[in-house]
Amino acid sequence: MTSELQVFMLPDLGEGLTEAELVNWLVSVGDEIRVDQPIAEVETAKSMVEVPSPYAGTVTVLHGEPGQTLDVGKPLISVLPVGAEVSTGSTNDTPVVVSTGSTNESPVVEPVETQESGSGNVLIGYGTPGGSGTARRTRAPRTAVEPDAQKAADDLLLLRTRVPGKLGAVISPLVRRMAREHGVDLGNVHGSGDSGLIMRRDVEAVIHPGSRQARSPEVSTGSTTERPESRQARSPEVSTGSTDSRTGLGISSRTPVKGVRKAVAATMSRSRSEIPEATVWVGVDATALVELRAGLKKSDPHTTPGLLAFIARFVTAGLKRFPDLNTRIETADNGAQEIVGFAGINLGFAAQTDRGLMVPSIRNADKLSARELDAEIRRLTAVVREGKATPEQLGSGTFTLNNYGVFGVDGSAAIINHPEVAILGVGRIIDKPWVVDGELAVRKVTELTLTFDHRVCDGGTAAGFLRFVADAIENPGSVLADI
């Protein structure tokens, strides 16, 4: 039986995304995997997800390295089916085990009918094959020189010397060839590269024990190695070409704009270029709300909502009264525009994470009490900080609430989270002198800032909504009757 490599293409992980960053491999070359086993963690512009394999068998190729951006529809992993053998033929149609980095040409991938079937499980917009699924047969390009059958068999043997589940992996064909020629068992080699990647220096250390310390340490550059002094000579940070031509300052770092940061940049730029925004703000005496929560916490310390949940409850009540701020503008191909209203409120809230600012949304927030809103805020905050939020959780909001007071600031003219039409910011609550009944007193004061799309409403509507929320904070009893 010939080896029909099954090549799994990176699927569309949701909402038509065209690329994803490979964060981490969960399997290694030579591992035996099962259907639906997670094989990689990838980060899209929306979230970080685990990608399951639709195939079972032996991993032969990992098409990419951690940190690399992969295009949707391009190979992610190649799997040799259980029980398959390497073909002994030598024609152009002979399937071979292909490794990334072996040539400058991409492998040719052709569909081939197979009896292998997947589970049919779905991951955000794609399913593993069903009973009549299609696998992939991978062969070398017709213009390339075919490797002989013995070399393919040797390569596969080396792959299978790996201990399943071990982090170490071999990607470079030069490293595998060196190991084969010197009889090195790669399954016993500890890789010094990222995620346990076995480098050339690791194999050389086995071939020539003790020589590793005698030589200057080497630095991996992919398929070859070099000494640090030669790398330093070319490093842009230390060379004469590292000076910025405009400022005359040295360039200390370059950080690619990708993943979540790339998505945020695109959304903010689009918001600024498309939305004629305006901002209104007001100072609010939050003493009554703070005292109300303190009293509730004394009687029920475990289920008392946080202040943000109370304000979220005021916001949903305000949006019911001023629904223009809970809309979206859609533009048709002919340029005609419509203001789209919604039968419900999906309240987004800004949450700071290690991956940047994320805005998950609470579905049907207008139907929830303050306690229920508090539970959802806590749950979704944990989800986004773990990098497990789905595109639906991050992209379905109709209005955003931003508590920038946690950063110790009073106000901010926020950028609207496109395609929404408004965002409400809440500053820190601090003691300030405040006039109450004609007398000066120390009160708990915060500032509310509303940025809105002037195309959907005028200043009167925006001010009416902002005043409603402010009044609710100052006199919370009536709005919170359902908590």
Give 271: exposed, middle or buried? Use CB within 10 Å, 0-12, 13-18, 19+: buried
H-helix or E-strand spanning residue 357: strand 356-358
Contact partners, residue 322, CB within 8 Å, separation at least 6: 457, 461, 464, 465, 468
Q: Tell me whether strands 422-426 and 399-402 are parallel, antiparallel or unpaired.
A: parallel
Reduced to 3 states, what is the DSSP secondary structure of residue 163? coil
H-helix or E-strand spanning residue 280: strand 277-285
Contact partners, residue 248, CB within 8 Å, separation at least 6: none
Determine contact, residues 365/316, Cβ cutoff 8 Å: yes
| Residue type present at position 103 | T
d(CA 85, CA 1): 6
* Per-residue tokens: 210: 């003790």
Determine contact, residues 181/193, Cβ cutoff 8 Å: no
Phi and psi torsions of 259, nearest 5°: 60, -135
User: What is the distance, to the nearest Å, from the Cα of residue 298 to the centroid of all Cα atoms in its chain?
Assistant: 40
* Per-residue tokens: 63: 């098409």
Q: Which residue has the tokens 């809440």?
A: 426
Q: How far apart are the first and last CA of the chain?
A: 68
β-sheet bridge partners, residue 20: 70
Cβ of 233: how many Cβ atoms within 10 Å?
Answer: 10
Reduced to 3 states, what is the DSSP secondary structure of residue 299? helix
d(CA 52, CA 128): 9
454 is catalytic: yes
Contact partners, residue 82, CB within 8 Å, separation at least 6: 32, 56, 57, 58
d(CA 322, CA 228): 64
Catalytic residue among 182, 190, 208, 454: 454
Nearest Cα to Cα of residue 319 among 392, 446, 422: 422
Contact partners, residue 176, CB within 8 Å, separation at least 6: 99, 155, 158, 170, 186
d(CA 54, CA 310): 45
Catalytic site positions: 454
